[in-house]
């Protein structure tokens, strides 16, 4: 099949390129805009308590949502606010109201805090109509601009924080991070490919081709999101960029290494490309299939953000694979050996001393290599038990100098830590609620350990539904806040509800509590399903029931080692409280899926060498010698592209970039280069059971002669 594909592409390169151009134009002209959301509640199923509370609140109290923004005023010298200072704050609020800022529906001054160190102006805003609605962000910008004029030289300092301000600062920081990631990724690919191939043409080939198809990928994802009503998280864009360039470059690299190998074997340029597609096509397609399956398994997730992320990344990988097997071969078949210009090194077979020596040593002592590499994975994996997930996305997504973070810190000097995002307790009764019932209920909630204060109840017109705002004593996203909501607050809210009434606890902290429960559910469903499906792909590729087991075992050892390394660096050495809660799933996406890529490439070459008649240990030595440089180069490029995320300037992307880059490095340089071939050598021909990976006759490659336009078996060629 892949040989036939190679022949079609090489015979008709201009038609292939033309079809790509038509497809790109068609997608761009018909695809809707790709929008993303930062509303975490949008990702949870409706049966969770936090979502039920939110819907009840929207139904009964559509105007009672927590303020979208908080203007925090303090004295510049850190002292208590005087009556004059408080009057200045009130005057500033009145002036802002007169501005009639678009999107602002109400501005209300609250009294100074009990210690008079902080005074807050609560700002209500119109709820965004969709993910592309920037009204709140523009309103925050206007508030900040006019606030400076009002405060001036009054001896006060003030800034805007709260949900809308935090979202704006995160978005701006994310845009800067995206620019840094994009530039760093492209520069890294160019530099590494220049070093590897010494040719600017090959260095530019992935950048130009992937850049050309990237807009198509975005369009296809937007189509899928609209067709299947998927909620796309804002983090998709940064991940999508590195996936597309990283994976796409890997597939192009696999093809070009084999193309160069066939040229050195004596093929003419067009025949070399046909044979390269024929030989590498099955392995690359199987590797991509494993990645796509792993990504698509996320559609089983109960969280909307992952259900959308999986298909989005699967589309990116599928398009990158299709381009790697059609568009790139078509371009290279037109260029011929000029693709290596100005280098002549492609004509010379390298001695491969370094990888040859490693392969020879492994062939002699595979047990030593298996134990040593496995020991590294286990040693790092031990640290994974210390993983502590954190939901503090605000500080991790913005710099400490951003206004929202700085004035959240100021707010905590006079208010409970949960003041920026109060929790909501909703009570629904079968008969009108009395003031005594609500007073008793409020007292019960106030007595919960971890609750800072409980606001006055708000009643619906028929007095059947009550809303009580609860300010927690701890930051809304902290472990302590989550423990309070998940345990004593929900328990007390349910038990102390008036007779015949039911209660639900909502708010951001409750959303995170339900998020954690949903993710634990997903771990039990998504990971096993993905493992089984990837094993089926491996079994079909290798025609073996043995190899998939130890290959998947090595991948999950790599997963544990990656998580352990990240815990060691960020929690143990840097002293951070925890790692972003989505990290295990993100690692699963890339370490498990892409780690399987390198294993497939190595084992496919092991099988090829074994079928050529070599003993298991000889096959391992030759596979490392020939495939080692490809895997090392691909791993270096892919790990480097993800490491560029560490330059984005916030801890969330730093943790993500570090974990993925280390995981890919482990997959390439520990698992694929050492552990997998060593174990395969130890198992010998049993690794291919019940297939016949060692049979010489079964594995002879038919090679294509472009001049003759047909396949010629090696035995027939040898008789001529």
Using CA atoms, how far apart are residues 404 and 598, in angstroms rounded to an integer?
A: 43
Q: Which position has the higher pLDDT, 97 or 286? A: 97
Residue with more model confidence, 680 or 188? 680
pLDDT at 692: 57
340-390 pLDDT, tens digit each: 888 887 777 666 567 888 888 888 899 999 999 999 999 999 999 999 888
pLDDT of residue 66: 66
Q: 311, 243 in Cβ contact below 8 A?
A: no
Region 557-581 average pLDDT: 89
Q: What are phi and psi of 404, to 5 degrees?
A: -65, -40
Question: What does the pLDDT read at residue 162?
Answer: 83
700 DSSP assignment: P
Q: Is the pLDDT of residue 322 over 50?
A: yes
Residue 593 has pLDDT above 80, yes or no: no
| Overall pTM > 0.95 | no
Q: Does pLDDT of 493 surpass 50?
A: yes
State the average pLDDT for the chain.
Answer: 83
User: Is 100 or 531 the better-scoring residue by pLDDT?
Assistant: 100
Q: Which residue has the higher pLDDT, 647 or 525?
A: 525
Query: What's the average model confidence in pLDDT over 431-440?
Result: 92
pLDDT in tens, 45-85: 788 899 999 889 888 887 666 678 889 999 999 899 999 99
Point out the least confidently predicted range of 122-126, 201-205, 299-303: 299-303
Q: Between residues 654 and 141, which one has the greater pLDDT?
A: 141
Among 625, 629, 607, 628, residue whose Cα is nearest residue 681: 607
**Is 162:90 a contact under the CB 8 Å cutoff?**
no
* pLDDT tens for each residue of 80-89: 999 999 999 9
Q: Which two tokens stand for residue 412?
A: 């905590």
Residue 131 near residue 226 (C-beta atoms within 8 A):
no
- Contacts of residue 243, defined as CB under 8 A and 6 or more positions apart, other chains included, come to 313, 316, 317, 590
User: Do residues 709 and 572 make contact, with C-beta atoms less than 8 angstroms apart?
Assistant: no
Q: Is 552 helix (H, G, I), strand (E, B) or coil?
A: helix
Mean pLDDT, rounded, for 191-208: 85
Buried/exposed code over 654-667 (b: 16+ C-beta within 10 A; e: otherwise): bbbbbbbbbbbbbb
Question: Which residues lie closer than 8 Å to 335 by C-beta, 6 or more apart?
Answer: 201
Distance CA 451, CA 481 (A): 9
Arithmetic mean of pLDDT, 120-126? 89
User: How far is 441 from 191, CA to CA, in rounded Å?
Assistant: 66
Pairing of strands 579-580, 389-390: parallel
Measured over the CA atoms of residue 109, residue 113, residue 119 and residue 123, the dihedral's sign is negative
pLDDT at 705 over 70: no
Element (H, E) at 175: helix 163-197
3-state secondary structure of 65: coil
Instruction: Give per-residue burial for 568-602: e unless 16+ CB within 10 Å, then b.
Output: bbbbeeeebebbbbbbbbbbbbbbbbbbbbbbbbb
Among 184-188, 294-298, 372-376, 587-591, name the most confident range: 372-376
From CA 462, how far away is CA 274, in angstroms rounded? 76
User: How confident is the model over 35-39, as a mean pLDDT?
Assistant: 57
713, pLDDT greater than 50: no
Where would I find the beta strands (DSSP E) of 432-575?
Answer: 451-454, 458-459, 465-472, 502-506
- Per residue in 614-649, pLDDT (tens digit) is 888 888 888 888 888 888 888 887 788 778 778 766
Identify the band that residue 662 occupies on the pLDDT scale cut at 50, 70 and 90: very high
Percent of the chain clearing pLDDT 90 (strictly above): 26
């Amino acid at each position: 099949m892949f040989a036939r594909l190679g022949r079609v592409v090489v015979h008709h390169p201009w038609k292939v390129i033309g079809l790509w151009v038509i497809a790109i134009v068609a997608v761009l002209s018909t695809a809707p805009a790709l929008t993303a959301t930062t509303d975490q509640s949008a990702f949870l199923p409706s049966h969770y308590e936090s979502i039920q509370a939110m819907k009840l609140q929207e139904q009964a109290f559509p105007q009672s949502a927590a303020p979208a923004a908080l203007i925090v005023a303090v004295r510049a010298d850190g002292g208590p606010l005087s009556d004059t200072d408080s009057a200045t704050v009130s005057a500033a609020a009145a002036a802002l109201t007169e501005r009639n800022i678009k999107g602002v529906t109400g501005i209300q001054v609250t009294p100074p805090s009990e210690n008079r160190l902080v005074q807050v102006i609560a700002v209500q805003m119109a709820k965004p109509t969709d993910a592309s609605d920037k009204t709140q962000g523009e309103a925050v910008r206007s508030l900040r601009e006019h606030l400076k004029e009002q405060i001036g030289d009054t001896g006060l300092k003030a800034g805007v924080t709260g949900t809308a301000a935090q979202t704006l600062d995160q978005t701006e920081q994310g845009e800067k991070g995206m620019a840094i990631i994009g530039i760093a990724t492209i520069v890294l690919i160019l530099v590494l490919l220049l070093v590897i191939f010494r040719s600017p043409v090959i260095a530019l080939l992935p950048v130009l081709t992937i850049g050309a198809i990237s807009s198509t990928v975005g369009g296809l994802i937007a189509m899928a999101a609209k067709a299947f009503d998927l909620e796309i998280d804002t983090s998709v864009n940064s991940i999508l960029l590195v996936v597309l360039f990283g994976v796409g470059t890997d597939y192009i690299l696999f093809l070009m290494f084999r193309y160069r190998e066939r040229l050195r074997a004596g093929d003419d340029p067009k025949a070399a490309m046909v044979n390269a597609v024929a030989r590498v096509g099955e392995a690359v397609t199987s590797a991509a299939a494993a990645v796509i399956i792993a990504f698509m398994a996320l559609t089983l997730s109960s969280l909307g953000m992952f259900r959308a992320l999986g298909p989005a990344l699967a589309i990116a990988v599928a398009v990158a694979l299709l381009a790697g097997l059609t568009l790139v071969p078509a371009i290279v078949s037109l260029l011929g050996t000029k693709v290596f210009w100005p280098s002549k090194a492609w004509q010379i077979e390298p001695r491969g001393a370094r990888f040859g020596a490693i392969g020879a040593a492994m062939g002699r002592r595979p047990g030593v290599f298996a134990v040593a590499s496995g020991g590294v994975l286990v040693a790092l994996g031990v640290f994974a038990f210390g993983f502590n997930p954190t939901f503090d996305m605000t500080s991790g997504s913005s710099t400490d100098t951003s206004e929202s973070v700085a004035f959240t810190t100021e707010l905590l000097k006079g208010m409970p830590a949960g003041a920026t995002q109060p929790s909501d307790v909703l009570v629904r009764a079968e008969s009108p609620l009395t003031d005594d019932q609500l007073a008793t209920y409020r007292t019960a909630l106030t007595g919960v350990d971890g609750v800072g204060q409980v606001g006055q109840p708000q009643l619906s017109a028929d007095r059947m539904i009550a809303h009580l705002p609860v300010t927690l004593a701890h930051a809304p996203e902290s472990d302590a806040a989550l423990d309070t909501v998940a345990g004593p607050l929900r328990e007390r809210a349910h038990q102390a509800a008036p007779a015949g009434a039911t209660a639900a606890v909502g708010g951001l902290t409750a959303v995170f509590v339900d998020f954690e429960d949903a993710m634990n559910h997903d771990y039990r469903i998504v990971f096993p399903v993905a493992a089984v499906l990837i094993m089926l792909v491996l079994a079909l590729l290798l025609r073996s029931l043995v190899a998939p087991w130890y290959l998947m075992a090595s991948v999950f050892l790599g997963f544990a080692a990656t998580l352990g390394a990240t815990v060691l660096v960020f929690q143990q050495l840097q002293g951070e409280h925890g790692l972003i809660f989505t990290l295990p799933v993100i690692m699963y996406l890339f370490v498990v899926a892409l780690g399987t890529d390198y294993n497939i490439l190595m084992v496919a070459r092991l099988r090829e060498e074994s079928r050529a008649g070599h003993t298991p240990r000889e096959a391992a030595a030759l596979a490392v010698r020939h495939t080692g440089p490809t895997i090392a180069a691909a791993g270096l490029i892919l790990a480097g592209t993800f490491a560029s995320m560490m330059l984005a300037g916030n801890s969330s992307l730093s943790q993500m970039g570090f974990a993925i880059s280390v995981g890919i490095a482990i997959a390439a340089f520990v698992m694929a280069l050492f552990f997998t071939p060593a174990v395969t050598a130890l198992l010998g021909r049993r690794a291919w059971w019940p297939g016949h990976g060692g049979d010489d006759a079964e594995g002879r490659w038919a090679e294509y002669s472009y001049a003759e336009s047909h396949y010629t078996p090696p035995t027939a060629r040898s008789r001529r």
